[in-house]
Structure 1
Amino acid sequence: DKTSRFTDWSRRPLSEAQKTYALADVTHLRVIYEFLAKELARTGRQKWVEEELAILLDPETYITRPEEAWLRVKTRTTSGRFLAIVRELARFREEYAQARNVPRSRVFKDDALLELASTKPTTLEELGRSRLLLREGRKPEIAEGILAAVTAGLAVKPEDCPKVEGDRDPGQVDSALADLLRVLLKAKSESAGVAQKLIATSSDLDALAAGDRSVVALKGWRGEVFGADALRLCKGEIALSAKGGAVRVVSV
C-alpha cells in the first residue's frame, strides 16, 4: 500500500496506516544485516564497507560550495570564457537553490545552463530565445540572476578564466585501451561478485585510457579489485587472454 508515500512526516499524530507504512521500511533490515555481516566476515570485506561508510559519514560528501558548483557540470568544451560563464551560472543556481532548499535542477537544468553559457544572453529579449530554459527559469528573479551571471562571466579577465587542469582532450582517449579496460572490469567484477558500476564507471575507464591517474577506481578496495591490474594493463605489463569462456590476466 503506497497511499502514505506522500506523507508529511513532520505532522502529528500519525495514523495507524502511516505507522504501518513507516515500519515496513525496516521490517526485514535485522535479518538482512545479520546475513550481510556474516558474508562480510566470511569474505574479509568489512574494510570495503568501512571505506564506503567513511564517505557517507563525511559532511563534505553532502556540501556543494557555490563557487565550486561548476565542476559538477559535465561539458567537453574547454574554452576559458565559456567555462567562466558556466562557473557564474552554476554559482547563481546553487546559491538560489540552497537559499530556498530546492533541487538545483528545479531552478534550471544543466542542458539549459550550457546553452546559456554558449548563447550568452545579456537582455531579457535574448534570454527569451532560449530553447531549453523551462518556465521556472523564466521567473523574474531567476531571469535577472541568469543575466547577471552571464555578465559577470563575460567580465572575467582572460587570465582568471577557469582552466580544466589534468584533463586531456577526449579525442586523445586510447579507444583500444578503453575497450581492454572494459573487458578487464567485466572479468574482475564477475570474479569479485560486485557490480561493475560500483567498481568503475565508463567515464573512469575513458579517463584511465587518456592517462588520468586520479580516478576513484584506482583507490581503496576498488584499487585492490581492479585498479592495480588496470594500471598494469595501461603500462603494458599484462595482457588478457580467453580460456574456457573466462578472461585471464597474463603477465607480459
Structure 2
Amino acid sequence: MKIHKLITETAPLTELCERLAKSDFVCVDTEFMRESTYWPELCLIQIADDKEAAAIDPKAPGLDLSPLLDLLVDNEDVLKIFHAGGQDVEIIYNLTGKTPHPIFDTQIAMMAISQSEQIGYSNLVESWLGLVIDKGARFTDWSRRPLTERQIEYAIGDVTHLSKIFPKIIKRLIKTGRGEWLDAEMEKLADPSHYRNDAGAAWLRIKAAGRNPAMLGRLKALAAWREMEAQDKNIPRGRIARDETLADIASHPPKTQADLAKVRGLSAGWKDNDIGKRLMQTLEDAKPLTEAEMPAKAPRGAPLGKEGALVADLLKLLLKIRAREIDVAARLLARSDDLELLAAGVRKDLPILEGWRYKVFGKDALDLVEGKLAFAVVKGRMKMTHVDELHSNMRDANPEELPVLAGDDEDDDMPQFKDDAEA
C-alpha cells in the first residue's frame, strides 16, 4: 500500500480524492480536540482505500478541504467506512451540513457477528490482524504543530488496518447472512438529525423529575440559554452549568439574582455578574410548555406490576440466551425498554416484533410471554424449549432434568431454575 505521510496542499489532495473516487470504499478517521471547547477542533483527517492511504492536515495554511468533503458527502458510489464513527460523522456534518453516505461502521457490524457490544479499535485490530497497536500517541496534543512522525504513523495506521479488516467483516456477514440486519443501524448513524444542533431541544437530554408544564418550560428555556452561551464562548456546556444545576433551578427558581449565590453548582459571582443577569432574564421570559410540547409519558412508566416485572426479567434472560446461541450482541437484538413494554402488554411499534428481529428473537419472546416456552439447564447451559415439544418428550425425561415452565404461575412468584449441580 502506498502511504502519503501528510498532505498540506490542495493540489495533491485533489489528485488523491480523484483516485479514491474510483474505489469501492474508503476508510476514514479523524483526530480532534474537544476537552476545552464546545465545537470539536479538527486536527487531522486520515483516509485510505485498499491501495493507498494519507493523512491530511486541515490546519495547513491555504489548504482547501472541498475535494475531500465532496468525496465524503456527495459521492454516493463510494462506501465510507468508520469505526465507532459517531464523532467523526459529527465533525463532517459541522463542516458541510451533510453526513457521509453510504456509510458502514465496523463497531456496529461486530455486533451482528459477535457478542461484542462496543469493541474498541485496538481489540478489533488484534482480533482480526493479530497486531498490537502502540497506544502511546493516542492521547497526544493533535492541535500542536509540527506533528511528529510517530503521531502521523499512528494516525494513518487507523485507516490502513481498517482497510484490511473491512473486507474480512463483509465476508463474515455474507457467510452468516446478517448483512441486512445492519441496514437500519447504518442509516441511523448517517441520519443528519442526530447531529443537528437544536438549542430548543437541548432540554430533552436533561433528567428532571416531574411533569409540571411551568417547571419544564423553565428547563427548556435554561437549556437553550446554556447552549447559546456555550456556543458563543466555545466552551463545553458543563462549564456554564451542569445538568443537575439547571434542573434544580428549573424546579426551585431563585426569586432574585442575589439568590443565585445559594444555588449549588454556581459560584458566588453569579449574584451580580452579567451571565447571572442573563440567566434571570431567561427565567423571567420562560413560558410553560403547551400541551403539544409536553413529552409523552415515558414508556418505562408503564405499570408492569409484580408479575409483569418477573416476565420482563425472564425476557432479559431469554435475550441473553439467544444472543449467546447465535453469537450476536444482545443490544442489537433488543433494548431493555422494549422488553418491559412487551411484558406490559404492548404489541405495536416494537422493533423486536418486526423484520429480522422478530424471526430470530421476537417470536420466542412472544411465546415466552404467552407461556409457550420453558427453560432448562442442560449440561450446565441454559436452554429454551417450546412447551408443545416438551410435552412430547416428558415421559422419557429424567425428573431432575425437567425444565421449568416460564408460564407456570402455580408456584411462588419467583421463577425456579435448576441449579447447574443438579442438572
- Structure-2-length-normalised TM-score: 0.49
In structure 2, the partner of 1:175 is 309
1:33 pairs, out of 166, 180, 202, with 166
In structure 1, the partner of 2:384 is 248
Q: 2:262 aligns to what SS in structure 1?
A: coil
Q: 1:25 aligns to what SS in structure 2?
A: helix
Distance in 2, matches of 1:221 and 1:148, equals 52
Per the TM alignment, residue 4 of structure 1 is displaced from its structure 2 partner at its CA by 6.1
Structure 1 residue ranges without an equivalent (≥5): none
* Residues 86 and 114 in structure 1, CA contact (< 8 A), matched pair in contact too: yes
- Higher strand content, 1 or 2: 2
Q: 1:63 aligns to what SS in structure 2?
A: coil
1:74 pairs, out of 201, 207, 211, with 207
In structure 2, the partner of 1:8 is 143
Q: Deviations over 1:6-64 (max 9, x none)?
A: 2117x5x5332321121232342123212211110101111223322211122112124
In structure 2, the partner of 1:191 is 325
In structure 2, the partner of 1:109 is 242
Percent identical residues: 33
**Quick one: structure 1 residues 202 and 44, their matched pair in 2 at CA, closer, same or farther if it must change by over 3 Å?**
same
In structure 1, the partner of 2:221 is 88
**Quick one: structure 1 residues 147 and 189, their matched pair in 2 at CA, closer, same or farther if it must change by over 3 Å?**
farther
Taking only aligned residues, the RMSD between alpha carbons, in angstroms, comes to 3.4
Structure 2 residue ranges without an equivalent (≥5): 1-135, 389-423
Distance in 2, matches of 1:199 and 1:243, equals 23
**Quick one: structure 1 residues 110 and 218, their matched pair in 2 at CA, closer, same or farther if it must change by over 3 Å?**
farther
2:193 pairs, out of 49, 56, 60, with 60
Q: 1:172 aligns to what SS in structure 2?
A: coil
**Quick one: structure 1 residues 208 and 118, their matched pair in 2 at CA, closer, same or farther if it must change by over 3 Å?**
farther
Per the TM alignment, residue 3 of structure 1 is displaced from its structure 2 partner at its CA by 7.0
- Structure-1-length-normalised TM-score: 0.77
Q: 2:159 aligns to what SS in structure 1?
A: coil
* Residues 83 and 162 in structure 1, CA contact (< 8 A), matched pair in contact too: no
Per the TM alignment, residue 197 of structure 1 is displaced from its structure 2 partner at its CA by 3.2
* Residues 82 and 117 in structure 1, CA contact (< 8 A), matched pair in contact too: yes
The alignment status of 1:164 with 2:300, answered yes or no, reads: no
- Higher helix content, 1 or 2: 1
For 2:288, the aligned partner's letter is V
Structure label with greater radius of gyration: 2
* Residues 84 and 162 in structure 1, CA contact (< 8 A), matched pair in contact too: no
Number of matched pairs: 246
2:178 pairs, out of 45, 55, 58, with 45
In structure 1, the partner of 2:283 is 150
Distance in 2, matches of 1:115 and 1:95, equals 20
Higher mean Cα deviation, 203-212 or 121-130?
203-212
In structure 2, the partner of 1:121 is 254
**Quick one: structure 1 residues 24 and 75, their matched pair in 2 at CA, closer, same or farther if it must change by over 3 Å?**
same
In structure 1, the partner of 2:361 is 226
Per the TM alignment, residue 86 of structure 1 is displaced from its structure 2 partner at its CA by 1.9
Q: Deviations over 1:59-93 (max 9, x none)?
A: 11212422222222234422222222222222222
Distance in 2, matches of 1:181 and 1:170, equals 18
Distance in 2, matches of 1:152 and 1:225, equals 52
